[in-house]
Structure 1
Amino acid sequence: MTMTAGYSGGCQCGAVRYRTAGALGYPHLCHCRMCQKSSGNYALPLGSAQRADFELTRGEPSWFHSSDLVRRGFCGTCGTPLFYDIPGTAFINVTLSSLDEPTAVQPVAQSNLAAKMPWFHALDVLPMEPDEDGSDRASSIRLSNHQHPDHDTSTWPQEKRHD
């Protein structure tokens, strides 16, 4: 089944890509300890896609059963968290930050607030670093970037250009 509407996304290295049609249900930030540990972050943004509207377009995720009821899909090559799945349900949750356009889906709620970092409210007043500088280090990172672009590609890994 080929889908053209909806959302596409994938892991950092491009080994696993997915596409979903239609809106993502209940986009939210989960603050539970399992989501924190699985993402290596303070919260995990998730949204649900109907299985009938979901397809893997490249590769296969690796899975970890974080409980008897839930498994979490991630790229076995680069480790990017991609899915929160409850087998047997009509939906699968995707990590909103793995979308090619993560700004397209704004969370509407937060869950499991008991584990939310108590200082989250203070983040906006922290000193801010410039987005990107012209330093040699920033230039070296930019020129040696191995991250998959935020769109589908016909091949993976991309062939190296010989300029």
Structure 2
Amino acid sequence: MTMSAGYSGGCQCGAVRYRAVGAPGYPHLCHCRMCQKASGNYALPLGSARRADFEMTRGEPSWFHSSDLVRRGFCGTCGTPLFYDIPGTDFINVTLGSLDEPMAVQPVAQSNRGTKMPWFQALDELPMEPDEDGTDRAVSIRLSNHQHPDHDTSTWPQEKRHD
């Protein structure tokens, strides 16, 4: 599915899935302290979808009101942050990391730079660890992966094979 036609996404465990028509609007990185806490990260990538073009395809999110104006949607099973919602508006924001194809959406802006980590510009200068793709640990994780795949499935969790 191309981003201009629409996009889908969901949580890590697959209990909550969504779909939207069109490309995500205003993809950006928010550096505010609330987004940092809500995501457990240094910034929260967000993009909007018109409510008329948005639907839940599996499950329902749990909600936390981070302020009187905003609520945050997340999976109540695995905790994945999914939505930044301002009730009463005609749009909902999705977390770009929860998209099935997150690399297809490049942020166009940053907001709340006053709380941006001052060392972000130095990240590319940090030493790079080698990829673990062939290590015993990486293979063991890959073979025991319980994460939902990056596409819609008719059922989840999938039944375990008994070979």
TM interval, shorter chain, is: over 0.9
| CA-to-aligned-CA distance 1:102-128 (integer Å, 9 cap, x gap) | 011110000000000000000001011
Q: In the comparison of the two structures, how many residue pairs are matched?
A: 159
The answer for the alignment partner of 1:98 in structure 2 is: 98
| Corresponding position of 1:108 | 108
Q: How does 1:49-68 map to 2 (within 5 A)?
A: 49-68=49-68
Q: Which amino acid aligns with 1:101?
A: E
Q: State the distance in 2 between where 1:134 and 1:100 align.
A: 24
Matched to 1:73, the amino acid is G
Identity, in percent, stands at 90
- Tell me the amino acid that sits aligned with residue 126 of structure 1: L
Partner of 1:8: 8
Gaps of 5+ in 1: none
Question: TM-score scaled by structure 2?
Answer: 0.95
Gaps of 5+ in 2: none
Structure 1's consecutive aligned runs of 4 or more residues displaced over 6 angstroms after TM superposition are none
* Residue deviations 1:60-104 (CA, integer Å, cap 9, x gap): 000000000000000000000000000000000000010000011
Match of 1:73 in 2: 73
The answer for the alignment partner of 1:27 in structure 2 is 27
> Given the alignment of the two structures, is residue 40 of structure 1 paired with residue 15 of structure 2, yes or no?
no
- State the secondary structure of the residue aligned to 1:149: coil
Q: Indicate yes or no: 2:130 matched with 1:130.
A: yes
- What is the CA distance between 1:13 and its match in structure 2? 0.3
Secondary structure of 1:49's aligned partner: strand
Secondary structure of residue in 2 paired with 1:48: strand
